Structure 1
Amino acid sequence: MHHLIALNRFQLLNTAEVMLDKTWDYTNVLSPFYRLYYIEGGGGMVSFAGAELSLKPGHLYLIPDFQLSNYQCTHSCHQFYVHFEEQMEQGVSIKTIYNLQYEIEATDLDIALIKRLLLINPNSKLPFERPTSLSKVQLGPKEDYHMRVMETQGILFQLVSRFLSASLLSAAPANGNYFRISKTLQYIHAHLSEDLSVGPLASQANLNPDYFSRIFQELIGQRPISYVHQLRVQKAQYHLLFSDATQDEVADLVGFSNRPYFAKIFKRYTGKSVGQYRDQASQV
């Protein structure tokens, strides 16, 4: 299934060099984007999904998207941060395919790439150095826009590749079911606002609904409706962060026609109401 991530892209959101102090202390932060840190000096702590990372000088750290995370600096920390979004052309994340490492020792090339990323994206610093804040990167003058976009993409690919484990999460069987489910993932991603109940999805894959649900879970690790709910909530988080759409409009955009049901599913996956999530995201 690794071929499904071949067309994935990484969209830079923010990057900067900062000096943190003990005011960098946040709990239960849930963000729909990845964070990459290079620690130049000092230290701190980050914890998420059972992982507890002690931020050490000379190391790189990756915090995946949609992870309830805690951040703390007890004294000082000289940090380079990179925030980026994974854009999934085929609807499949690198997290679905690879075991991700969260901490690696930085090489000279890694450090040079991060500093180069800051140099070609000079207007992308956050207003405040806190995990709850976010802004869209400003790419500057138009004259070399496309060159910088391509170089930024290349740097992000190189940095992210450093965190991919050589082992895959699972080996997909080479059979017709695998092909059908991979097509279904693409279909879900492209038709998120439409009816994606098991019946239509099974028909799209030319399979019996019960059999479709069973092999979907075998290959993806969760039932089709759970996968759709998760993806819809993730898309809703993006809209809540990056647009002025109302809660009703966001529900429509991601395929929830029933507002109370949207609120229920959103809180199940994020631990927050839609309003609480948007309020947290706007704390800038």
Structure 2
Amino acid sequence: MIKRKFQHTFTLLNVDRVMLDTRWNYQHVISPYYRIYYIHEGEGILSGAGETVKLEPGFLYIIPSFTLCNMRCENYLDQYFVQFFEDSTDGISLFAQHRSIGKLTATETDRLLFNRLLEINPGRGINRSDNPKVYEKDVYYKEYQELNNLQNISVSMETQGILWQLTAKFLNPNIPDSQPAKMIPLKLAETLDYIELNMHAELTVNFLASRINLHPDYFSRQFKAYTGTRPLNHIHEKRIERAQYLMATTRMNYAEIAAKLGFSDLSHFSKAFRKSTGMAPRDYRKQMYLVGFHHHPKKNQG
């Protein structure tokens, strides 16, 4: 019997069907979780990284985690949405090499899958206050993790399966612009794992190269050839991504996050975070909390 172990699992954050208006207007959004939309009626715009994608009825959209995006509705938009975190055994995202907005023609099955997600996960919409004391204190932690812990095994497995099905459609090799990932050498793959597990440590090119018995210059060239970036840039990017994830899923303060990720102090962390995301940690946390605040539930779902 052939066995295949899945390296990627998903954790539900929010799911809802909403009627949006002109208040759904957010710029420079970078989230540590995925978004998938199914549009029932109306129109909207997603843009980022030089691309503009129109939201229109009968289509399915994905915004991978850590993908820069602007969102806008100029009139109204009847939208199903689901937001979820990705967990990977090797720390590499399914969309690591293709972080851009995806668009596909939806099927009746997709609509039924969204309705089923809503049916088995009631009360998982975005219902929160815009009071800074609220989002600074609790952020998402109570909103999603404790609810997930209350799911029975049947609901948890079915939710996971639906998220897999919806995401899998965007991994189809026949989709235009979808590039097959290069087979990464074992030593480099092991180095990527090491980085993910040791972000608190002092990670230098010389140290990482010596771990796998390669010359630093050769190691750097190989690393860039297979990942698209140099080792130190990759480490920096991963630390900032992990910081975004920790802001969304824990009650850790900024100093604790900085220490956990190997930054010398809070000032160093704040400067690095601002350079990478375009905003201070506090502003990022506020934005992450408020995106979707103006969602209005649509009644009589069908």
Identity of aligned residues (%): 37
Tell me which amino acid in the other structure corresponds to 2:104. I
State the alpha-carbon separation in 2 of the partners of residues 85 and 141 from structure 1: 15
Q: 1:221 aligns with which of 220, 228, 235?
A: 228
State the alpha-carbon separation in 2 of the partners of residues 80 and 242 from structure 1: 23
2:111 corresponds in structure 1 to 111
Q: 1:171 aligns with which of 171, 182, 203?
A: 182
Q: Describe the shift of the 1:165–1:126 C-alpha distance in structure 2 as closer, same or farther (beyond 3 A).
A: same
> Is it true that 1:36 corresponds to 2:36 in the alignment?
yes
The equivalences for 1:1-284 within 5 A come to 6-97=6-97, 102-127=102-127, 135-136=143-144, 139=147, 142=150, 145-166=152-173, 167-172=178-183, 178-283=185-290
Tell me which amino acid in the other structure corresponds to 2:240. V
Tell me which amino acid in the other structure corresponds to 1:204. R
Tell me which amino acid in the other structure corresponds to 2:230. R
- Work out which structure has the larger RCO, using CA pairs closer than 8 Å and 6 or more positions apart in sequence: 2
Report if the CA contact (8 A) 1:91-1:188 is conserved. no
Secondary structure, counterpart of 2:222 in structure 1: helix
State the alpha-carbon separation in 2 of the partners of residues 140 and 98 from structure 1: 29
State the alpha-carbon separation in 2 of the partners of residues 102 and 122 from structure 1: 27
State the alpha-carbon separation in 2 of the partners of residues 60 and 161 from structure 1: 12
State the alpha-carbon separation in 1 of the partners of residues 58 and 77 from structure 2: 12
Q: What is the TM-score normalised by the length of structure 1?
A: 0.88
Secondary structure, counterpart of 1:158 in structure 2: helix
- Name stretches of at least 5 consecutive residues in structure 2 with no aligned partner: 294-302
Report if the CA contact (8 A) 2:47-2:70 is conserved. yes
Secondary structure, counterpart of 1:17 in structure 2: strand
State the alpha-carbon separation in 2 of the partners of residues 113 and 137 from structure 1: 22
State the alpha-carbon separation in 2 of the partners of residues 221 and 158 from structure 1: 29
Tell me which amino acid in the other structure corresponds to 1:268. K
State the alpha-carbon separation in 2 of the partners of residues 206 and 15 from structure 1: 47
State the alpha-carbon separation in 2 of the partners of residues 9 and 145 from structure 1: 17
State the alpha-carbon separation in 2 of the partners of residues 128 and 74 from structure 1: 23
State the alpha-carbon separation in 2 of the partners of residues 269 and 138 from structure 1: 30
Aligned length: 274
Moved more, 207-216 or 97-106: 97-106
Secondary structure, counterpart of 1:272 in structure 2: coil
CA deviation vs aligned residue, 1:155-180 (integer Å, no higher than 9, x gap) = 1111001111414344336xxxx110
Tell me which amino acid in the other structure corresponds to 1:58. G
Report if the CA contact (8 A) 1:98-1:165 is conserved. no
CA deviation vs aligned residue, 1:96-126 (integer Å, no higher than 9, x gap) = 3568661101112211111111111112111
CA deviation vs aligned residue, 1:209-257 (integer Å, no higher than 9, x gap) = 2211110011111011111110100111122233332211110112212
Q: Describe the shift of the 1:129–1:30 C-alpha distance in structure 2 as closer, same or farther (beyond 3 A).
A: farther
Quote the offset at 1:263 in angstroms: 2.0
Q: What is the TM-score normalised by the length of structure 2?
A: 0.83
Report if the CA contact (8 A) 1:39-1:80 is conserved. yes
Quote the offset at 1:129 in angstroms: 11
Root-mean-square deviation (Å)? 2.5
CA deviation vs aligned residue, 1:136-169 (integer Å, no higher than 9, x gap) = 2654795x61111111111111100111141434
Tell me which amino acid in the other structure corresponds to 1:57. P
- Name stretches of at least 5 consecutive residues in structure 1 with no aligned partner: none
Q: Describe the shift of the 1:129–1:11 C-alpha distance in structure 2 as closer, same or farther (beyond 3 A).
A: farther
Tell me which amino acid in the other structure corresponds to 1:62. I
